[in-house]
A and B are shown apart, each in its own frame.
Chain A
Amino acid sequence: MAEIETDCLPVVVIIDSSEDGRREKMAAAFAGVARVQLAYNTGLEIIFTDTANALLTELDPALVTLRHFRDLLTAPSNATTVTVYFGGNGGNDAAAPRDARFRIWRPISAGSGCLESSEARELVEFAQKIESGEADAQRPDFLKNPQTVFMLPTLSVLCQGYLAAHALPEEAQGIRHALEHAGLPAFLEGEGDDVAALKRVLPLKRGVTSSRRWWLDVLKEDCRQEVEEQIVSEMGVPLDESPAVKALVAAVYGAGKIQPSVVANAYCAIAAKLSGKPCTQG
């Protein structure tokens, strides 16, 4: 297999003096996507290395600099297109500089939260758009404040309630892909007090979950526009580009009963957005 020509890859600099392996884990996510350089403060000196641990005399100008909140004074002036701040306390860290335009909002530690390969690729592509002058480029989800993401989780929870109530064998055929993704068939075939209690209740909920009122109690009768605007914000695309979610909203604010296929398709679209894992057709 031909080796990747790394010289033509953009440079990502990771500045993090923590000694728990976090900077190496973050660096690993960029394999094949960027040429990563690391900077850290040992307490005695500032060290620059590449991912093979070879010492560097200086950092190269970077497309992206990932800077730990507590490393604001480590290599503070290296040229970069986009600086993204991160830390173990998440984006609300009190050490965040006032002008921190981009930050990873979830807590990042060596044990959990580090960027995945797909996110690293997304970040590089986002920075390349900024570099080419696309100032309003759609920022990756992990750079969005999660306090502003609540509508998709809300819809997902309601969809899961609806799908569980409609998971009876005679009804489940057309919505199998969504049921499987939610783990409902395995759950309902399982044992345990929680399963037994829910199995008694769920068939009784088919009627209520099919009524628009059940959904509107949560979304509110007179708030369609706000709901749609929030969905657009959280999906990151116009509503027309989320046809399954648009169809659910139309059903909830329309007339008649809510149909299983509408809920199943909306659930899958939301799940793909929230988890990155699409439903697979059986």
Chain B
Amino acid sequence: MPRWQKRRSAFNHDWLKNRYMPALAKYLNLLDDRVEDREFERSFVSNILPEWQENLDEARALVLDFEQEMSPRRLFESPPLSRSDEDTRRWVGELVHALWLRRCPVKQWVSEAVEATERADAAYRNLRDLLRASADTRSAQAMIPYRAQFAEFRARCQGVANAVSKFPSEVKVV
């Protein structure tokens, strides 16, 4: 599996979709009084919510690295194409990269994912600023007024997950 795909799996599949967003969903259920979990209630805002900030750099880098890391030009870095001479690696590499950019909406995928990430981050920062003014982030009762902002942030995270999912899974040469 190409390195970029492993990074995508770690960020989008393992963390965002299977850990972070389910935790956000559970917290919303908690605010709606549909589930009860005292430990989770006490620790969510201080321990789990800030994971967004910790993963933001990787989200941005992942999206921006896609064009270079999943380009068919990368095939020249391993056998058998790595056996070609340096001049061929350069000009054919440039050619297949340029053709790939014209065949696939790479720039569009990237700009959509960048936009989704920044929108999620704006929603996160808005929520964080509101919570800073709150005296008790360990109580669901005290967090209920911010439910709409939590829901907004979760929806924006879903937007990131969808945008990152759109990138193709394979290096495409045609």
Contacts and interface: CB of A to CB of B under 8 A. Distances in A.
Contact of A109 (B85, B165, B174): B165
Interface size class of B (residues with CB under 8 A): 35 or more
Interface in A174-224: 181-184, 186-187, 190, 194-195, 197-198, 201-202, 205, 208, 214, 217-220
Given A146-B170, A157-B81, 15 more contacts: A18-B17, A20-B162, A107-B9, A107-B169, A111-B165, A153-B75, A154-B80, A156-B174, A157-B92, A158-B92, A184-B99, A187-B102, A198-B98, A202-B95, A217-B84
B103 A183 contact: yes
Contacts of B119: none
29 contacts: A88-B12, A88-B17, A89-B14, A90-B1, A90-B9, A109-B12, A109-B13, A111-B161, A111-B163, A112-B167, A112-B168, A113-B168, A113-B169, A150-B80, A153-B72, A153-B173, A156-B174, A157-B72, A158-B81, A160-B96, A161-B88, A161-B91, A161-B92, A183-B99, A183-B103, A198-B94, A214-B88, A271-B174, A277-B174
B67 to A, nearest CB: 13
A82 B92 CA distance: 42
B62 to A, nearest CB: 14
Contacts, number: 119
Interface string B24-46: 00000000000000000000000
A157 B75 contact: yes
Nearest to B25: A19
A47 interface: no
Contacts of A112: 165-169
A31 interface: no
Given A107-B9, A110-B162, A158-B92, A218 B84 contact: yes
A115 to B, nearest CB: 13
A174 to B, nearest CB: 20
A110 B165 contact: yes
B19 interface: no
